[in-house]
């Protein structure tokens, strides 16, 4: 008996979900059919590939090997399909994109426009914080990632396609709201709400303090941009957020953006991929699309425009 491509596909789905029911749903198969494939694979391998401890499934060492190989083969087959489609003049296939949580405020707009241009492309979007996106990149789980800084020493390459200004947010009635050119030392006396460890926004904020030898008075740690905004409105502290996350709150005056010297932190959004990865035709097209019109598809976010903010633009 030999391994079949279908068995590898089934194994890959089970290994990813570590759950037979979810794998069966994804593959439009019945659960017994999935279990049947897994049993056959273990017979071929001659040793267990998956272990059950209590209710949880784990990959064995052999299972991890099979998972790696299955992923490589599936990616290779998808790539082949895309290249064949390209030869007949079509852009067709799958685009797996991982974006940091802050990029979710604009990524769907980019993908919407891309899908209208290339309706034959199937897009999968994964949203997680920077650390998880980096883990996914290293494991070659996605074609491309969108994040706020290109990681160093990881063998990746990144192309900037749009500005990402980070600003200081405060409740509108905060004593510093409306003040100009606030010294970082004054601002550092405040309590700050922090994103979870692993967040790119948090890293940038910590870096600002570290670069100036200031200590950061951390208040609550709140695990998302949305919760941070609610925390700021509730008066629990100040924070640093990407302007992309603040469109609604600025328009409705629910938060104030403070004019602190050194802000906005001028960052960019990058499309990142492993240097050694052979990009699919679809991914190549997406990069070209981002470079040509990515920034133009997103309403620009500009510091100093909303009512309660300093007028001066920097
Ligand atoms: P975050 O990332 O959502 O993890 O804070 C933003 C970024 O990539 O800088």
Is 85 domain-assigned?
no
Is 199 domain-assigned?
yes
Residue 37 has pLDDT above 60, yes or no: yes
268-277 pLDDT per residue, tens: 999 999 998 8
| Same domain as 171, residue 115 | no
Query: What pLDDT was estimated at residue 305?
Result: 56
| Same domain as 16, residue 62 | yes
Residue 6 has pLDDT above 90, yes or no: yes
| Same domain as 56, residue 113 | no
Which numbered atom of ligand 1 lies nearest the CA of 102?
Answer: 3
| Same domain as 55, residue 96 | no
Average of per-residue pLDDT across 192-213? 94
| Same domain as 60, residue 193 | no
Which numbered atom of ligand 1 lies nearest the CA of 147?
Answer: 8
Query: Which protein residues are within 6 Å of ligand 1, measured from CB?
Result: 100-102, 129-130, 147-149, 195, 199-201
Q: How does the average pLDDT of the chain come out, rounded?
A: 90
Alpha-carbon separation of residue 108 from 16, 114, 146 (angstroms):
24, 10, 12
Query: What pLDDT was estimated at residue 173?
Result: 95
Query: What pLDDT was estimated at residue 309?
Result: 56
| Same domain as 273, residue 262 | no
Structural domain range at position 49: 5-68
Is 121 domain-assigned?
yes
CA–CA distance, 211 with 311 (Å, rounded to integer): 27
Phi and psi at residue 68, in whole multiples of 5°? -60, -50
Is 79 domain-assigned?
no
Three-state helix/strand/coil letters over the chain: CCCCHHHHHHHHHHHHHCCHHHHHHHHCCCHHHHHHHHHHHHHHHCCCCEEEECCEEEECHHHHHHHHHHHHHHHHHHHHHHHHHHHCCCCCEEEEEEEEHHHHHCHHHHHHHHHHHCCCEEEEEEEECHHHHHHHHHCCCCCEEEECCCCCCCCEEEEEEEEEEEEEEECCCCCCCCCCCECHHHHCCCCEEECCCCCHHHHHHHHHHHHCCCCCCEEEECCCHHHHHHHHHCCCCEEEEEHHHHHHHHHCCCCEEECECCCCEEEEEEEEEECCCCCCHHHHHHHHHHHHHHHHHCCCCCCCCCCCCCCCCC
Distance 270 CA to ligand 1 centre (A): 11
Phi and psi at residue 42, in whole multiples of 5°? -70, -35
Distance 5 CA to ligand 1 centre (A): 37
128-171 pLDDT per residue, tens: 999 999 999 988 889 999 999 999 888 999 999 999 999 999 99
| Same domain as 174, residue 157 | no
Is 73 domain-assigned?
no
- Picking from 68, 84, 107, the residue at the C-terminal end of a domain is 68
Query: What pLDDT was estimated at residue 212?
Result: 95
Is 82 domain-assigned?
no
Residue 300 has pLDDT above 90, yes or no: no
Kindly indicate the confidence band of residue 175, based on its pLDDT and cuts at 50, 70 and 90: very high
Q: What is the domain count for the chain? A: 3
Residue 219 has pLDDT above 60, yes or no: yes
Residue 307 has pLDDT above 50, yes or no: no
Is 158 domain-assigned?
yes
| Same domain as 228, residue 203 | yes
**CATH code where residue 57 lies:** 1.10.10.10
Distance 103 CA to ligand 1 centre (A): 7
| Same domain as 36, residue 107 | no
| Same domain as 263, residue 168 | yes
Is 152 domain-assigned?
yes
Kindly indicate the confidence band of residue 75, based on its pLDDT and cuts at 50, 70 and 90: confident
Which numbered atom of ligand 1 lies nearest the CA of 195?
Answer: 5
Residue 94 has pLDDT above 50, yes or no: yes
Q: What percent of the chain has pLDDT over 90?
A: 74
| Same domain as 222, residue 203 | yes
| Same domain as 107, residue 248 | no
Residue 251 has pLDDT above 90, yes or no: no
Residue 311 has pLDDT above 70, yes or no: no
**CATH code where residue 275 lies:** 3.40.190.10
Distance 130 CA to ligand 1 centre (A): 5
Query: What pLDDT was estimated at residue 25?
Result: 95
Average of per-residue pLDDT across 181-191? 95
Residue for token pair 């007028």: 311
Average of per-residue pLDDT across 65-94? 86
């Amino acid at each position: 008996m030999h391994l079949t491509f279908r068995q590898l596909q089934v194994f890959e789905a089970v290994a990813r979900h570590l759950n037979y029911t979810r794998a069966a749903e994804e593959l439009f198969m019945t659960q017994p059919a999935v279990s049947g494939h897994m049993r056959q694979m273990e017979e071929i391998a001659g040793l267990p590939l998956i272990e059950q401890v209590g209710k949880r499934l784990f990959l064995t060492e052999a299972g991890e090997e099979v998972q790696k190989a299955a992923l490589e083969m599936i990616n290779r087959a998808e790539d082949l399909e895309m290249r064949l489609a390209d030869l007949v003049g079509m852009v067709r296939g799958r685009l797996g994109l991982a974006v940091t949580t802050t990029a979710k405020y604009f990524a769907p707009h980019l993908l919407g426009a891309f899908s209208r241009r290339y309706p034959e492309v199937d897009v999968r979007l994964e949203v997680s914080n920077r650390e998880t996106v980096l883990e996914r990149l290293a494991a070659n789980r996605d074609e491309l990632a969108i994040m706020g800084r290109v990681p160093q020493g990881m063998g990746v390459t990144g192309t900037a396609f749009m500005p990402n200004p980070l600003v200081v947010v405060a409740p509108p009635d905060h004593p510093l709201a409306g003040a100009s050119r606030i010294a970082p030392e004054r601002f550092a006396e405040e309590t700050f709400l922090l994103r979870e460890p692993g967040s790119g926004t948090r890293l940038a904020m910590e870096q600002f303090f570290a670069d100036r030898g200031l200590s950061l008075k951390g208040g609550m740690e709140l695990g998302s941009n949305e919760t941070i905004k609610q925390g700021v409105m509730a008066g629990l502290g100040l924070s640093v957020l990407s302007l992309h996350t603040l469109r609604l709150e600025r328009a409705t005056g629910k938060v104030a953006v403070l004019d602190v010297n050194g802000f906005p932190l001028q960052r960019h959004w990058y499309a990142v991929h492993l240097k050694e990865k052979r990009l699919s035709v679809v991914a190549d097209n997406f990069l070209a699309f981002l470079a040509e019109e990515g920034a133009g598809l997103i309403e620009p976010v500009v510091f100093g425009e909303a009512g309660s903010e300093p007028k001066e633009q920097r």
